[in-house]
Chain A
């Protein structure tokens, strides 16, 4: 039906030919007839266009006219570059931040995992909240119990983490974090290899050959995707293993390991303790739901079996620990730690976006007041309200479109920053990249903003002659517009206040952590990981103890070294590695009725450890080289242990013994010393109940501590050299001062505070622009009023004070509203999050002070302008 371009041309050509013929028939000559016919026909493209338009649909015509309006809007905005730039940048910040956070939220919380049928994949966790054990993991007897009694789970997969000294990949012996898994693990997880094969049932059990799978990241980064690695024989500690395959890229959970090996590679996994001891817990447990079973069925069944298990073995499940079983989808489990922080950030981004929009609304409102004359003329000439709105919409669309375009560009780097940040909470964030969702979120936000903003200004009525007066160029600000402007400015202050208080809270927490007294001499202590070497020695081996003593002696002779010690635990960095605290008893101390034995942390250190780390001895003696296997078993306790158990100070020389079933014998050990309290698990001191054992009686240590007189890092090379000269394949890694260890441990907090402060900073900036804009607009609209005031004797200082006080009133109301809103948010947040902290007085007062200061700064410029009004010009201006 609809004619194409050629038909339209043919029709026009036919018409002109007929017209020429008619003239020629009348006797005109051909050339003049042709010219006359063309003149008579008129402008051919216009005719073609008008014919074509007949066939267009109505919406097309409407959008074509909107397009025309947008071109006009674009041109008129080019004349007000500052105005347009402010709006575009403000919107870009709001849209960019929101779109970036949204794509990270989507990537981390909502996207499915690569695992086959990932919604059938569940994670089972045993926890003991009573003793602060968030993840107790499972022992082999426990897993066997669950396996034999549960029908809603088709198959279980187990995974435990072990540090291996890896030899055979790369030139140096390295300590790698490895997963040790049973034969069903990969099948349960539903993962595929990208090269070779994964581990299966034939790799399970003590008689299989050693086999290892490389994770994709390790293969890509450390081995440059070398395909010849398949089939190579490597050494994992003392045992050989063959590399059989490379795992596809997948979320590394529960641990980000470099290789995953079968149980035969880990002697520990084959030992009697591992297989028979119910409290020897170190295995993570996964399951695949049986066909037809829901996660609720599995949860109910697992919980019931677990309860029976606890009932049958009361010695392994202390009532105080309050042991519980949790069953969740693997996807939710992986996302859970990041959920809170991401939702908070999303809310912060949304607040920034709302602030940006309200600021833009202000600017547009102010501009539309200046344009009221133009709009009034249009209305008087018969433009309908719809047509005027379309004009405004066209302009806001241009502005918001530009803002969104810039915002999407900003979102790229934003996503990178936020993803790196979120990776501290959930490994999935590592996979997040800028995806098209940023585009449509940005576009959606822009369109929403444009539509809202187009409806902000009041339309002039065609019947109100007052509007026409404005066409002469003067601006009269109406009470309604003024109220709206102030409303938006107040809203901005209120929202900025909420964000600033939030940022202040995080900063205050960070500062508290960074300045908290730790009890360590942090600047001069250098720590190393010095894991048990791969060959030559075993645990509890006299040779290992000799190695430690020889190392300590040789290192002490180095220039610049003050003290050398070994231990089992780098403060904070090794947090969680030793599991929860352990129960113990001391002769002469009986717990009050109904109370269990006290718990303390179990640590192994050498002599001079306390001296090296700056922990004062309070009573008794330090460990010496004479505290060895065979000599009297001794311990040193922290001050908290001594004071809690024996407030009168008679702890020294009493005997203590561990009562946890983990320790097979109740060997009594004499308390020979008391040292000051430190908390090596938490930077902010919480629990300080610790009992130290001499390395000579326990063997394994694994960490090296050196107290330097000068720059600690200058010692690293020499120390490595000395250690290698004693034992050639001894790994020595992760050298850092205690101060830097703390900084590393606190980096999530720092990032938290940084990201949130960035949001608050953006909000503050926008709010300052908003307040300054409103006041300078109000000042410029009241030039005459100020002129009159000056003429009748007001001093310029009074005018400055007047404008400043207007700014202060706006900010004061804003802060009050913000505080009220903040309390509302807090109540709301309690419904969503488990724990909500109220800010202390410092962040609140700080934020309020900052905002008031900002308001003063923002009011200053317009205030000074008001005081400089030229009286004569002001009076003449109307």
Chain B
């Protein structure tokens, strides 16, 4: 894995990229570049998605039927592929969100037992 020049950025946890893509597309259709920029912007530049992971992930999600794709023209006046959630994708997103919050809570309890007890 290539080291990011910016030490502040974090590598994504395995398996979370799919969830972030689904979540990003909740707001409407977007092309791959836009998805990467949105994840970066919304994480305040902490999360950086490598294109080498992003595009295989997008294709994997299309293959599973959670996204559909169509060709459009981008802001750069170039042909670009736009991705969009399907109904199955929306259902998957809500499942992943539930799983994620469970995971965060569980890990939180382990890492900060005192805090968890206080809650």
Stretch at the interface among A19-27, A83-91, A250-258, A508-516: A19-27
Indicate if the CB atoms of B79 and A14 lie closer than 8 Å.
yes
Q: Mark A1-45, 1 if CB is under 8 A from B, else 0.
A: 101000100111111011111100000000000000000111000
* B window 40-87: CB within 8 A of A: 50-52, 55-56, 59-60, 62-63, 71, 74-81
A59 within 8 A of B: no
| Alpha-carbon distance A12/B37, docked complex (angstroms) | 15
A60 within 8 A of B: no
B108 within 8 A of A: no
B116 to chain A, nearest CB (A): 33
B89 to chain A, nearest CB (A): 15
A627 to chain B, nearest CB (A): 103
Indicate if the CB atoms of A47 and B76 lie closer than 8 Å.
no
Bin the interface of chain A by size.
20 to 34
Residues of chain A contacted by B33 (CB below 8 angstroms): 14-15, 18-19, 22
A46 within 8 A of B: yes
Residue of A nearest to B72 (CB): A14
Indicate if the CB atoms of B79 and A54 lie closer than 8 Å.
no
A873 within 8 A of B: no
A51 within 8 A of B: yes
| Alpha-carbon distance A46/B77, docked complex (angstroms) | 26
Q: Mark B76-102, 1 if CB is under 8 A from A, else 0.
A: 111111000000000000000000000
Indicate if the CB atoms of B60 and A54 lie closer than 8 Å.
yes
A42 touching B63 in the complex, CB below 8 Å, given contacts A53-B56, A54-B56: no
A23 to chain B, nearest CB (A): 11
| Alpha-carbon distance A11/B63, docked complex (angstroms) | 16
A18 touching B80 in the complex, CB below 8 Å, given contacts A54-B63, A55-B59, A55-B63: yes
Indicate if the CB atoms of B37 and A17 lie closer than 8 Å.
no
Residues of chain A contacted by B76 (CB below 8 angstroms): 14, 17-18, 20-21
Q: Identify which of B37, B59, B74 contacts A3 (C-beta below 8 A).
A: B59
| Alpha-carbon distance A40/B37, docked complex (angstroms) | 13
A50 within 8 A of B: yes
Residues of chain B contacted by A54 (CB below 8 angstroms): 56, 59-60, 63
Residues of chain A contacted by B78 (CB below 8 angstroms): 13-14, 17-18
B105 to chain A, nearest CB (A): 31
Interface centre among B33, B62, B71 (most CB of A within 10 A): B33
Q: Identify which of B34, B51, B56, B77 contacts A42 (C-beta below 8 A).
A: B51
B47 to chain A, nearest CB (A): 15
B9 to chain A, nearest CB (A): 13
| Alpha-carbon distance A53/B57, docked complex (angstroms) | 11
B36 to chain A, nearest CB (A): 8
| Alpha-carbon distance A54/B63, docked complex (angstroms) | 8
Indicate if the CB atoms of B31 and A18 lie closer than 8 Å.
yes
Residues of chain A contacted by B55 (CB below 8 angstroms): 11-12, 15, 47, 50-51
A296 to chain B, nearest CB (A): 61
Indicate if the CB atoms of A51 and B51 lie closer than 8 Å.
no
A808 to chain B, nearest CB (A): 61
Residues of chain B contacted by A1 (CB below 8 angstroms): 62-63
| Alpha-carbon distance A40/B71, docked complex (angstroms) | 24
Q: Identify which of B37, B60, B81 contacts A11 (C-beta below 8 A).
A: B81
A601 to chain B, nearest CB (A): 87
Indicate if the CB atoms of A14 and B56 lie closer than 8 Å.
no
| Alpha-carbon distance A50/B52, docked complex (angstroms) | 7
A49 to chain B, nearest CB (A): 9
| Alpha-carbon distance A17/B81, docked complex (angstroms) | 12
* A window 268-292: CB within 8 A of B: none
B63 to chain A, nearest CB (A): 6
Residue of A nearest to B81 (CB): A11
Q: Mark A52-69, 1 if CB is under 8 A from B, else 0.
A: 011100000000000000
Residues of chain A contacted by B31 (CB below 8 angstroms): 14-15, 18
Q: Identify which of A10, A13, A15 contacts B51 (C-beta below 8 A).
A: A15
Residue of A nearest to B60 (CB): A54
Q: Identify which of A14, A20, A50, A51 contacts B80 (C-beta below 8 A).
A: A14
A22 touching B32 in the complex, CB below 8 Å, given contacts A10-B79, A11-B81, A55-B63: no
Residue of B nearest to A44 (CB): B51
Residue of B nearest to A24 (CB): B76
Residue of A nearest to B61 (CB): A54
Residues of chain A contacted by B60 (CB below 8 angstroms): 54
Residues of chain B contacted by A3 (CB below 8 angstroms): 59
Indicate if the CB atoms of A42 and B50 lie closer than 8 Å.
yes
Residues of chain A contacted by B32 (CB below 8 angstroms): 11, 14-15
Residues of chain B contacted by A13 (CB below 8 angstroms): 78-79
Indicate if the CB atoms of B52 and A14 lie closer than 8 Å.
no
Indicate if the CB atoms of B59 and A46 lie closer than 8 Å.
no
B17 to chain A, nearest CB (A): 13
Indicate if the CB atoms of A47 and B52 lie closer than 8 Å.
yes
| Alpha-carbon distance A42/B51, docked complex (angstroms) | 8
Residue of B nearest to A52 (CB): B59
Residues of chain B contacted by A11 (CB below 8 angstroms): 32, 55, 80-81
| Alpha-carbon distance A246/B61, docked complex (angstroms) | 71
Q: Footprint of A on B, CB under 8 Å?
A: 2, 31-34, 37, 50-52, 55-56, 59-60, 62-63, 71, 74-81
Question: Can you show 9 pairs from A to B with CB atoms below 8 A apart?
Answer: A11-B80, A13-B78, A15-B55, A17-B74, A17-B78, A18-B75, A18-B80, A41-B51, A47-B55
7 further contact pairs, Cβ within 8 A, besides A3-B59, A18-B31, A22-B33 = A13-B78, A14-B32, A15-B51, A18-B80, A20-B76, A47-B51, A50-B56
The 3 A-B residue pairs whose C-beta atoms are closest, nearest first, are A14-B80, A18-B33, A17-B78
